[in-house]
Amino acid sequence: MNIWLNSLLGLFYPKQCAACGLKISEQLIICINCEQNLPFTDFHLQSDNVVAKQFWGRAPIEAAAACFYFTKGSKIQHLIHQLKYKGNQQVGEFIGNLYGQKLKKSVFNKVDMIIPVPLHLKKIKKRGYNQSTCFAKGLSMALQKPVEEQAVIRKSFTETQTKKSRWNRWLNVSEAFEVIDKEKLQEKNILLVDDVITTGATMEALVSKLSQSVHAQFYVASIAYAGIN
């Protein structure tokens, strides 16, 4: 799009901060005020953080972390809503790049590749993209490691997770993943990424499946941690 047309469109559809909705200049993703008040967890600096603990005794991980705390009605909820339901893929890349700068200075600097939690094809078609891939791309920019999307796929279509109990969620996702290219993953340090971690059931199923299939080290990171209410 040429610059003239872009600024003309800006008159009618001014760009909004993806976190609070305030009008911002075209090259920004969120406003300065939101950027200075993001609820970082700093979990990547604590080996016994609440996300990592979810995996203890369940699935073998080296480290796990989430960039932000997720609370209802918060700016983070708004950001993730933009990413998942409003087609705003830039939000995922922005957060990924931001978080990658932090992860680079922690145990996460060991990772060789980044794998977004795969979505079923039906869901990709509906949304047009995998929101975790957007986050992975941003991380990839900061960490200078490739995004790998071919080695593992999601084979069964799982229904919406929100109304199910932990056990039912587990049953639902435990057989959902299939490793297609073991060779690519063998002996690698693999960073698995998702948008929001709540119970960790999806990620646990993915790590379990991968660890049964290949010999590798697994790291987990998400945009946000929502806890269990």
Residues in the interface with Zn ion (CB under 5 A) total 6
* Binding of residue 113 to Zn ion (CB under 5 A): no
* Binding of residue 95 to Zn ion (CB under 5 A): no
- Least CB distance from residue 199 to Zn ion, whole Å? 30
Interface stretch with Zn ion, choices 3-11, 25-33, 148-156, 204-212 (CB under 5 A):
25-33
- Least CB distance from residue 165 to Zn ion, whole Å? 36
* Binding of residue 17 to Zn ion (CB under 5 A): yes
Angle at 92 between CA 183 and CA 181, to 5 degrees: 10
Cα dihedral 62, 46, 169, 88 sign: negative
Which one among 19, 115, 214, 223 touches Zn ion, defined by CB under 5 A? 19
* Binding of residue 34 to Zn ion (CB under 5 A): yes
| Nearer CB in complex with Zn ion: 76/193 | 76
213 token code pair: 């299939």
Q: Which helix (H) or strand (E) holds 94?
A: helix 89-103
Region for 77 from its dihedrals, namely left if φ exceeds 0, alpha if ψ lies in -120 to 50, beta otherwise: alpha
Interface stretch with Zn ion, choices 2-10, 11-19, 108-116, 168-176 (CB under 5 A):
11-19
The dihedrals phi and psi of 63, each to the nearest 5 degrees, come to -160, 155
Cα 118 to Cα 33, 35, 56, 72, distances in angstroms: 33, 29, 23, 25
- Least CB distance from residue 30 to Zn ion, whole Å? 5
* Binding of residue 29 to Zn ion (CB under 5 A): no
Interface stretch with Zn ion, choices 32-40, 116-124, 177-185, 214-222 (CB under 5 A):
32-40
What is the DSSP code string of 35-46?
Answer: HHT--B--GGG-
Chain positions contacting Zn ion, by CB under 5 A: 17, 19-20, 22, 31, 34
